[in-house]
A and B are shown apart, each in its own frame.
Chain A
Amino acid sequence: MSVLVNADSKIIVQGFTGGEGTFHAGQMIDYGTNVVGGVTPGKGGTTHLDKPVFNTVKEAVDNTNADVSIIFVPPPFAADAIMEAAESGIKVIVCITEGIPTEDMVQVKEYLRGTDSRLIGPNCPGIITPEGAKVGIMPGFIHEKGIVGIVSRSGTLTYEAVDQLTKVGLGQTTAIGIGGDPIIGTTTKDAVELFMNDPETKGIVMIGEIGGNMEADAAKWIKENGTKPVVGFIAGATAPKGRTMGHAGAIIGGKADTAEAKKQIMSDCGIYVVDLPADIGKKMAEVLK
């Protein structure tokens, strides 16, 4: 088992024929991911990377039974691409695009309410289930099939955790990059819940950063419902107040936004909080013993 994506997932790529789409779809296919086609409006009927190209997501779904989509569409059109995927019945929508206007995402969030589509991202590295499917831009080779689920707001910090878990021999069930924007589809709590319900996942790594209440919400949920050990890390202890640190969502407004406040509430809720990202793998190995 794993969560969200696996070897049976049928994946389409929106923005398939563009530079980013082409490169990363190629990498996904090389990893062994079941990419069944792509969408580029106006290029329907052609083939790209030996896969069929469709004009619309609806057409792609009708022809391939795709249930997962990954989006590499430029920011001005990305919100529309997400809604198109949802309207066509795609179950898991992974949006890699960085720089979508917040107001567009307010609309998207509203549009997705009442659909059974789950959005991952935007502004995220995607999802990977080792030996199953890579639906994202992460380096595949650092991953290894295993027993730890990872949820993270940051790309390279996720790779850091993955690498350590691989080296201590625990591996990963699935790693989910949920994205660094103020509005994202799947929250830390949502992802933790998925892992708690996945029988193969024995431990969970939760990587957060300054800004917002997602980690606190997840921590409170874990305290009430958690059945597996969770190792947590929060980036940004030295970040100044009021400045956006790279990710649009990484900004300290009030006291609850700080790394210190988040770490406190996480450890109060029984999460094993580490102060250095270098300790994530070791800590997980220790608590899973």
Chain B
Amino acid sequence: MNLHEYQGKSILKDFGVMVPDGIIANSPEAAYEAAKEIQGRTGSKKWAVKAQIHAGGRGKGGGVKIASTLKEVRKFADNILGMMLVTPQTKKEGKLVRKVLVEQNIYYPGPEEVEEYYMSILLNRDVGRNMVMYSPRGGMNIEEVAEETPEEIFTEIIDPTVGLTGFQARRIAFNLGLSGVAFKQMTKFVVSLYKAYVGSDSTLFEINPVIKAADGKVYAADSKVVIDNNALYRHKDIAEMRDLSEEDPTEVEASNFDLNFVKLDGNVACMVNGAGLAMATMDMIKMSGGNPANFLDVGGTADAKRVEEAFRIILRDKSVEAILVNIFGGIVRCDRVAQGIVDAYKNIGDIKVPIIVRLQGTNAEEGKKLIDDSGLKVHSAIQLEEAAKLVNTMVN
């Protein structure tokens, strides 16, 4: 589950990670009041006004502004709220901004230079341990850094039984070139950050940039936090942070029916049991001259009700020209699935899109016969190649 920047920062703060003083606002007036309150608490004379959407690169699209007066805070909030923010990570139409985060400015003047670093915590799948990945090149796209100057990316792999150790925290601070107050601040920062990561059952923390302010204080200036969906049962407070308005409505609906659905841009939809076979079916559609319109795993119990729901969801996409149902019957019997398809077809009524059903495994022949005898405009197949050829005929 993805979180907004302000939600991620609230988790960081709970674990003692220093974040800029900030208040979330959903109107220009609220933003103005927020800035005033922050000024009262911190003495900040400038403010960051930041669009809250689930996508990175917000600054590039005009979603992050630095205001020098309270009036400017109101003006920027007015500009940003309600805009369709386009960033390199959004679709081309952009994302509607519903909230802004107003924050204390941490680029304030002081005895030292302000510095920006990159830091993330994530799973290293090769060793089955979490790791801190960091770089002195903050504020940059880390993939670009990895290509251009891989020697400037460092990692610390963490032993889960002891957590991030003191020497690792010091090594991080040294590698970032820190000394004095900032050195101590950074070691404290990274230890707290790891505690927050584990404590919230996150699968990704990306803090880009981490700021060393002019007085040596270290702040998480941004936060990208992804929570492990499988662990949400033990974090009721975090589960409540889910923002459905940021998700594809069709995917949300599908998830309510326990259907694993990902919307894509193609013209041939598919409905499959099993994630691996579903991906392979998408690939097969492509090789047959079509483009997959979705990923859809109906799971182990492809009964009539789920099949019907899946059809309804697929059919909402008007660019779909054909539907390929690919089921390998194991414990699920193919004749049951076939009956489900026939029933769903009749219940939904007028389906204009051609449907190809490929059933293999337990009772595949019986399933094929059920479909062939149903009188519906459904093409049946047993071999994968047959199904691929049928897709090819449909789209050409």
1/0 contact trace for B123-135 toward A, CB 8 Å?
1011011100000
Judging by beta carbons under 8 Å apart, are A153 and B228 in contact? no
**Interface residue? B19 (CB, 8 A):** no
Kindly state the separation between the CA atoms of A27 and B286 in the bound complex, as whole angstroms: 37
Q: Which of B146, B201, B330 contacts A138 (CB 8 A)?
A: B330
Kindly state the separation between the CA atoms of A182 and B361 in the bound complex, as whole angstroms: 29
B-side contacts of A103, CB under 8 Å: 198, 201, 228, 231
Candidate in B260, B279, B282, B329 with the most chain A CB atoms within 10 angstroms: B279
Judging by beta carbons under 8 Å apart, are A278 and B276 in contact? no
Q: Tally A residues with Cβ within 8 Å of B.
A: 59
Kindly state the separation between the CA atoms of A100 and B287 in the bound complex, as whole angstroms: 35
A22 CB to closest chain B CB (Å) equals 13
Judging by beta carbons under 8 Å apart, are B160 and A107 in contact? yes
**Interface residue? B328 (CB, 8 A):** yes
Judging by beta carbons under 8 Å apart, are B125 and A249 in contact? yes
Asked whether A237 and B286 contact (CB < 8 A) given A139-B331, A183-B123, the answer is yes
Kindly state the separation between the CA atoms of A210 and B284 in the bound complex, as whole angstroms: 15
Kindly state the separation between the CA atoms of A248 and B143 in the bound complex, as whole angstroms: 22
B-side contacts of A139, CB under 8 Å: 329-331, 361-362
B-side contacts of A152, CB under 8 Å: 276
Judging by beta carbons under 8 Å apart, are A137 and B331 in contact? yes
Kindly state the separation between the CA atoms of A152 and B279 in the bound complex, as whole angstroms: 14
Kindly state the separation between the CA atoms of A210 and B282 in the bound complex, as whole angstroms: 13
**Interface residue? A213 (CB, 8 A):** yes
Asked whether A110 and B361 contact (CB < 8 A) given A157-B274, A278-B383, A278-B385, the answer is no
**Interface residue? A203 (CB, 8 A):** no
1/0 contact trace for A242-255 toward B, CB 8 Å?
01011111100010
Kindly state the separation between the CA atoms of A180 and B228 in the bound complex, as whole angstroms: 15
1/0 contact trace for A91-107 toward B, CB 8 Å?
00000000111111111
**Interface residue? B295 (CB, 8 A):** yes
Judging by beta carbons under 8 Å apart, are A106 and B361 in contact? no
User: Interface range on chain B: under 10, 10 to 19, 20 to 34, or 35 or more?
Assistant: 35 or more
A-side contacts of B329, CB under 8 Å: 139
Q: Which of B123, B126, B262, B361 contacts A142 (CB 8 A)?
A: B361
B-side contacts of A217, CB under 8 Å: 126
A-side contacts of B275, CB under 8 Å: 154, 180, 209, 245-247, 250
Judging by beta carbons under 8 Å apart, are B279 and A106 in contact? no
A-side contacts of B233, CB under 8 Å: 76
Give residues 225-283 of B contacting A (CB, 8 Å): 228, 230-231, 233-234, 260, 262, 264, 272-280, 282-283
Give residues 62-121 of A contacting B (CB, 8 Å): 75-76, 99-107, 109-110
Judging by beta carbons under 8 Å apart, are B277 and A160 in contact? yes
Judging by beta carbons under 8 Å apart, are B274 and A155 in contact? yes
**Interface residue? B339 (CB, 8 A):** no
Judging by beta carbons under 8 Å apart, are B230 and A75 in contact? yes
B55 CB to closest chain A CB (Å) equals 11
Kindly state the separation between the CA atoms of A187 and B260 in the bound complex, as whole angstroms: 25
Judging by beta carbons under 8 Å apart, are B280 and A157 in contact? yes
Q: Which of A101, A154, A275, A277 contacts B228 (CB 8 A)?
A: A101
**Interface residue? B31 (CB, 8 A):** no
**Interface residue? A130 (CB, 8 A):** no
* Interface residues in chain A, defined as those with a beta carbon under 8 Å from any beta carbon in chain B: 27, 75-76, 99-107, 109-110, 137-139, 141-142, 152-160, 163, 180, 182-183, 207, 209-213, 217, 233, 235-240, 243, 245-250, 254, 259, 275-278
Residue contacts A-B, CB under 8 angstroms, 21 given: A99-B230, A101-B228, A137-B331, A139-B362, A153-B276, A154-B277, A156-B272, A156-B328, A157-B276, A159-B361, A180-B276, A182-B125, A209-B275, A235-B279, A237-B286, A238-B264, A246-B274, A247-B275, A250-B279, A276-B283, A276-B284
In addition to A103-B231, A238-B292, 20 A-B residue pairs with Cβ atoms within 8 Å of each other are: A76-B233, A139-B361, A154-B276, A154-B277, A155-B276, A156-B277, A159-B361, A160-B328, A210-B279, A217-B126, A235-B276, A239-B282, A243-B295, A246-B274, A246-B276, A249-B125, A275-B287, A276-B388, A277-B277, A277-B284
